[in-house]
Amino acid sequence: KNEVEQSPQNLTAQEGEFITINCSYSVGISALHWLQQHPGGGIVSLFMLSSGKKKHGRLIATINIQEKHSSLHITASHPRDSAVYICAVSTRYTGTASKLTFGTGTRLQVTL
Amino acid sequence: NAGVTQTPKFQVLKTGQSMTLQCAQDMNHNSMYWYRQDPGMGLRLIYYSASEGTTDKGEVPNGYNVSRLNKREFSLRLESAAPSQTSVYFCASSEQGGYNEQFFGPGTRLTVL
């Protein structure tokens, strides 16, 4: 079993829909990250959180530490939101170094 | 600021050839990382450097070597490329510690024939 599991793997939505992507993890973490990767593009950090909820524009990320679960919500989705969304957890590796363990990503396509 | 830069963007190698992937960051970050991304799998850590002068193996280090040339630069070397090393390689950097955002480069798409 992977340490970081995302669901769904693929998601198609119509413009304007409310979208939820889920992430569950099985290890102790210092932070959880949500990342966005556009086709053929690089990886951009959307959120980093260790408790509660963060909001940036139409994106909302929540985390429940006790349940080891996080969700990424997109309100009023738009075709430009089409991308792969990746959940990653930050854990201590050795010494002062941390490492990220990644989920396999959720491929989102938003159609008109 | 350019952030994290990687060269080259694309590379095709024949089995057995060697090459070095270059990475540089201008954010004065202490920690740097090399990942590979393969279809159906999450990014996996190849090597990392917690600070200038130190390097350590990640999850999938076999077939790779790294050099932390200075605080800015962290290179990844394939001594004898194999088809299993066909992948997209990402370099990233962050401040030290367990609660810091990682900034990613644009990636290098490598094909080994």
CA atoms within 13 A on the CB side of A16: 1
Burial of B19 (0-12, 13-18, 19+ CB in 10 A): middle
- pLDDT for A19: 98
Whether residue A79 is preceded by a cis peptide bond, meaning omega within 30 degrees of 0, is: no
- pLDDT for B99: 67
- pLDDT for B98: 54
The predicted-structure confidence for A52-91, as pLDDT tens digits, reads as follows: 999 999 999 999 999 999 999 999 999 999 999 999 998 8
Strands B31-37 and B87-94: antiparallel
pLDDT tens across the length of chain B (113 residues): 789 999 999 999 999 999 999 999 999 999 999 999 998 888 999 999 988 889 999 999 999 999 998 999 999 999 999 999 999 999 999 987 556 788 999 999 999 99
Res A93 pLDDT > 70? no
CB pair distance less than 8 Å for A97 and B106: no
Q: Which residues of A touch B44 (CB under 8 A)?
A: 102
Q: Closest partner residue to B42 among A42, A95, A104, by Cβ?
A: A104
Q: How far is the C-alpha of A24 from the C-alpha of A94, rounded, in Å? A: 24
The predicted-structure confidence for A8-56, as pLDDT tens digits, reads as follows: 999 999 999 999 999 999 988 889 999 999 987 789 999 999 999 999 9
Whether chain A has a CB inside 8 Å of the CB on B2: the answer is: no
CB pair distance less than 8 Å for A95 and B50: yes
Closest CA to A86 of A29, A2, A5, A26: A5
CB pair distance less than 8 Å for B99 and A48: yes
